[in-house]
Structure 1
């Protein structure tokens, strides 16, 4: 059973997410928080597997709460919720340790899928949202690829570029005509060699080091 904590300052939003999560059959909402400080304290006390975290909340916002939670030893992973066009802090939340982000109007099935992905230790990267966020926060003038990528083999570099575009392991396998197991091995090696926590950090790093540029098809 996946234990989820919902953090949002709107009661109706929390109620809606609770209904979706608890009707899934494999998830249980262990608590609800109305701001970031409360979310941090409840995460420490309740030890959820996943925190569904709104970006904008009073007092302590979702970014600072994410930073505090990810710096602790609870083992909880944070899945950010954003209205996107109104939120300027999602990129900062990823750097703070968030394992992914979703739009608040996402479909119920996509929400459940994202929670499961994050709970098993992977990251949730929505390609369209990722691209637009990085266009805003990193810009289109990326530098030439960093020498730090020299530790990657040609195939790993290719896989890294596809991760940066938001492709899943299955989609990368299809694109490169490889088995999904082989792709998983390449992904693990890329993360290990570059010292990255998960796919979300991999996406940001790929743009920052110049492997791909915002707006790249």
Structure 2
């Protein structure tokens, strides 16, 4: 092929080969012959064979290939970014959040609100912490920037509600005090990586 033929954009002059003739069937007899030929080839029975095999495994061998949601749920990955969780300190039961406001500042969807005050010990105390899940895009920036690992992404992804006010409840994010002893160091999105100690730059104690 020379350069002129390569530059030719007129496709009607080229010789194309029709692999399959898609001519429409004109009479009912032609349609019947086409269906009969395809049935003789066994394509229909091959599909039915696969269907009956799967049905037999489900009915008699109890090998279901579907999940009966919501009674059954598939496991999700440990780094899945679902509904947030606010972790507490195991020793005192206090919330890990120190009220620095980094999560509120870095939130690109502007859905985090925080209200703080200075307590009697001259420490910042978090009074209100709300996340509007109607606007949250679950990007994970808040969990990445948190210096105290106070906010992480949990595994609860069912956050539907009838009212918008249901999306900003703080109590759903906090760890209940009666279940505080069962809280383990979170391994989900926003947690410390296993090789975090090796990544930390060692500095002398005296300068």
TM category (shorter chain) comes to: under 0.3
Point out which structure has higher relative CO (alpha carbons under 8 A, 6+ apart).
2
- Larger helix share, 1 or 2: 1
TM-score (norm 2): 0.23
Q: Which has the larger radius of gyration?
A: 2
